[in-house]
Amino acid sequence: MPQLTSPHVRFHASFLDAVREFTEAGLDALVLVGESIAPYERTWREPAGFAAFVDMLLAEPERPRRPDWVEMTNLWYAESDTFLGRLSIRHRLNPYLLELGGHIGYAVRPGARRQGHATAMLRAALPRCRQLGIDRALLTCDTTNTASRKVIEANGGEFEDQRGAKLRYWIRTGN
Ligand X SMILES: CC(C)(COP(=O)(O)OP(=O)(O)OC[C@H]1O[C@@H](n2cnc3c(N)ncnc32)[C@H](O)[C@@H]1OP(=O)(O)O)[C@@H](O)C(=O)NCCC(=O)NCCS
- Closer to ligand X by Cβ: residue 54 or 139: 139
Size of the site for ligand X (CB under 6 A): 19
Residue whose C-alpha is closest to residue 140's, from 174, 116, 166: 166
Helices (H), 84-156: 95-96, 117-131, 146-154
Q: How many CB atoms lie within 10 A of CB 73?
A: 20
Out of 3, 17, 154, 156, the only residue in the binding site for ligand X (CB under 6 A) is 154
Alpha-carbon span 158 to 6, nearest angstrom: 28
Binder among 141, 155, 170, 171 for ligand X (CB under 6 A): 141
147 binding ligand X? (CB under 6 A): yes
- Residues 75-134 close enough to bind ligand X by CB under 6 A: 106-108, 113-119
Q: Which is nearer to ligand X, 91 or 150 (CB)?
A: 150
Q: What does the chain come to in residues?
A: 175
- Is 150 one of the binding residues for ligand X (CB under 6 A)? yes
- Would you give the binding string for ligand X spanning residues 21-50, x where CB under 6 A is met? ----------x-------------------
Q: How far is the CB of 159 from ligand X (least distance, A)?
A: 14
Q: CB of residue 154 vs ligand X: minimum separation in angstroms?
A: 5
Asked whether position 151 contacts ligand X by CB under 6 A, the answer is yes
Shortest reach from residue 136's CB to ligand X, in Å: 17
Report DSSP letters for 13-80, one per residue.
HHHHHHHHHHHHTT--THHHH-SS-HHHHTTTTSHHHHHHHHHHHHHTTTS-SSTTSPPEEEEEEEET
Question: Which phi and psi (to 5°) does residue 147 adopt?
Answer: -60, -50
- Judged by the rule CB under 6 A, the positions of this chain that interact with ligand X are 31, 106-108, 113-119, 141, 145-148, 150-151, 154
